[in-house]
Chain A
Amino acid sequence: MKEFFIEGLKQFFDYSGFANCELGNLIMIVVGLIFITLAIVKEYEPMLLIPIGFGIILGNIPFTDGLQVGVYENGSVLNYLYFGVLKGVYPPLIFLGIGAMTDFSALISNPKLILIGAAAQGGIFAAYAAALALGFTPMEAGAIGIIGGADGPTAIFISSKLAPSLMGAIAISAYSYMALVPVIQPPIMRLLTTKKERLIRMRPPRAVSHREKVMFPLLCILLTAFLVPTGLPLLGMLFFGNLLKESSVTKRLANTASNALIDIVTILIGLTVGCSTQASTFLKVESILIFVLGAFSFVIATTCGVLFVKIFNLFLKEGNKINPLIGNSGVSAVPDSARVSNVEGLKYDKTNYLLMHAMGPNVAGVIGSAVAAGILLSFLY
């Protein structure tokens, strides 16, 4: 009798997290706690960092294999939820919500700003080349490079297709740097611009008609999807969401897409991506390299955007010139990078509001990164 109870207690202890805990689990749990602290105290992207941070904690609670509780164990609840990440279901749904909440007026009224969104994608391909040089395979390099697009859902979508084993590190890296946009971008912007350039006042955007707003998603999907069909899941959902918003006859659908749906998917994607960072799969040299490459791609993307505006200005007439401080907004961290442009602009001229102008390249960056993702898929998948 006594032996039975002792054996039972021993078995219970073997099943518990204390018996299975390793140093890696503890490190990852601390990382999760840091994420949650940053989100609550510093308010860095709380909508993302809290689910991801909590997911990291959940994913690193030690357990015995075979209990069907882990995210990588077939049949577990977390595994079912993770299916949406693994098969690229969640990112297009997030794009639907983004489309339904994005106003493309700034872009429609000043179309030349869209080219900044293209230039800033240089970060993706610079990181791709750097990852190849560091010994990653082309598929892994493609998945890492997309961090430079500064678009979490796109990064998850591409890594789920090209390098599922690196998805945790890529997603965490992408979201971390998106949260750190106000820290990373301003020094580069100041370094690459003169005081005179920072004071450039841009022409106010013209009013955009309802007809133009409705036609925009329709024409854009036809143009981009025919050129890069592999980007269809992301681009299709983005422009579909925008049509729901701009058509003005599907307000209920647009409201759901831009509120309830995107909130639900954000919770699921954040939590499950966090869970996927189990110490055994996450704490590797590759993860550190991915973080380094992610920072590099952000720097290059910002540099490309700012330098492109400076070169573009050489061909523009006086009065039509673009303030190079909005060059950083070409990365698609909406609306953080546009906000950074505005804050930096106000530092040099308290009446020069750049937010509306910066939103143009910012949303162009969303389109640009989705197109770039499509190209990577067509070359590598």
Chain B
Amino acid sequence: MNNIKHKLLTLCVVLLAGTTLFGQQVSDLRINELLIKNDSNYVDEYGRHVPWVEIFNTAYNSVNIAGCFLTDDTTGLAAGDYSNWYRIPSTDPTTLIPQRSMLVFYLDNSPLYGTYHTNFDPNQSSNHYIALISSNGKTLIDIFHYPANLANVPQSFGCIDDGISTIVDENGKTVSNMAILDYFTPGSTNKVHVGATKSEHLQKSDPHGIGLAVISISVVFAALIMIFIMLKIFGLVSTRKDRKASQAQAATAATADTTQATAAKDGPTGEEIAAIAMALHCFMNSQHDEESEVITIDMPSKHYSPWSQKNLVMKKVTRRR
């Protein structure tokens, strides 16, 4: 029995570890966007316009890119010879890419400038691709082919939909999802919807604000008219209820009056008048507050704070006798 338990536990641990490892897989990384002719776009931390490439984490968990290689020449891949490639340092905690996020590397052939500066420059290369290789130096994670003339075009090239290089079209054919992009989006999604904002639309269609004024004042009136109608109905119902209640009270009072009138045909006696006067007296007294009826001699005291009491904080002046 114990043996089975141990096996199950081991299996669970293995499965869990497997899931975690799978979750951290660098195979989820894709090269998403590349700009070579960077004349006036993104600048690096040294204020330079240099070519850059964007890596996208397609997974829904964080992936650490540390230890992986970036290169524009995959010669030596089969042999695991990575001596000429740029290895992303594993000592930098910022190489952890959050879920569905991007990281930008500068392709400036200046690896001494920092973690994100590679040792190659696509302007100096005849291979028109960038490759992302795993830390073992043998597994190609992604290869990003770009047009030969990209170095002359001041536009970026990348996936139209983030991380997806091919799609299936309406005819069932697999077609490329890569294109020269309309907007540079280093560090953010390539799918940009640039259109006029709500207020810009409004400015175009209603430049003098008359349309908005008319609609708005109508809506304000509509809202308050609805409240008005509701209050009116509510008032009518409430008044009717109150009227019914008062009518019922009046009827009860009238019956009581008739009974009393029959009993006191000759008018109230002296005792009755005295009783009424007593009842009225008691009633009037009951309106008064009830006193505690305890008389004490108690010195009034106030709680002073030393912050506000001058005699506690001021120096006493000595008197000369």
Binding site for B on A (CB under 8 A): 107-109, 111-112, 114-115, 117-119, 121-122, 124-126, 128-129, 132-133, 137-139, 141, 206, 209, 211-212, 215-216, 219-220, 223-224, 227-228, 364, 367-368, 371-372, 375-376, 379-381
Contacts and interface: CB of A to CB of B under 8 A. Distances in A.
15 contacts: A111-B231, A128-B209, A206-B235, A211-B238, A224-B223, A227-B222, A227-B223, A227-B226, A367-B224, A368-B223, A368-B224, A371-B219, A375-B219, A379-B202, A380-B198
A209 B209 contact: no
Interface stretch (B15-23, B123-131, B210-218): B210-218
A129 B212 CA distance: 9
Contacts of B234: 108, 212, 215-216, 219
Interface in B214-259: 215-217, 219-228, 230-232, 234-235, 238-239, 242
Contacts of B223: 118, 223-224, 227-228, 367-368, 371
Given A118-B223, A128-B212, A141-B209, 15 more contacts: A109-B235, A114-B228, A115-B228, A121-B217, A125-B209, A126-B213, A129-B210, A132-B208, A133-B208, A223-B226, A224-B223, A367-B223, A367-B227, A371-B220, A379-B212
Contact of B230 (A115, A117, A223, A228): A223
B269 to A, nearest CB: 39
A129 B220 contact: no
A118 B230 CA distance: 16
Given A138-B199, A379-B198, A125 B219 contact: no
B228 A125 contact: no
Nearest to A235: B223
Contacts of B10: none
B220 A206 contact: no
Nearest to B221: A118
B75 interface: no
B231 A107 contact: yes
A111 B249 CA distance: 28
B207 interface: yes
B227 A132 contact: no
A122 B217 contact: yes
Interface residues of B, number: 32
B238 A376 contact: no
A314 to B, nearest CB: 17
B202 A380 contact: yes
Contacts of B200: 138
Nearest to A139: B199
A124 B212 CA distance: 11
A209 B246 CA distance: 14
B203 interface: yes
Contacts of B212: 125, 128, 379
Nearest to A215: B234
Contacts of B203: 132, 137-138
Nearest to A125: B213
A115 B224 contact: yes
A138 B235 CA distance: 41
B76 to A, nearest CB: 48
Which are the 7 A-B pairs with shortest beta-carbon distances?
A125-B213, A111-B231, A129-B209, A138-B199, A118-B224, A375-B216, A132-B209
Contacts of A379: 198, 202, 212, 215-216
A136 B319 CA distance: 73
B230 A125 contact: no
Contact of B199 (A107, A114, A137, A212): A137
A111 B227 contact: yes
A126 B230 CA distance: 29
Interface in B7-64: none
Contacts of B220: 118, 121, 368, 371-372, 375
B231 A114 contact: yes
Contacts of A124: 216
A216 B232 CA distance: 12
Nearest to A117: B224
A128 B217 CA distance: 12
A372 B207 CA distance: 19
Contacts of B226: 223-224, 227
Of the listed residues B226, B231, B239, the one surrounded by the most CB atoms of chain A closer than 10 A to its CB is: B231
A138 B202 contact: yes
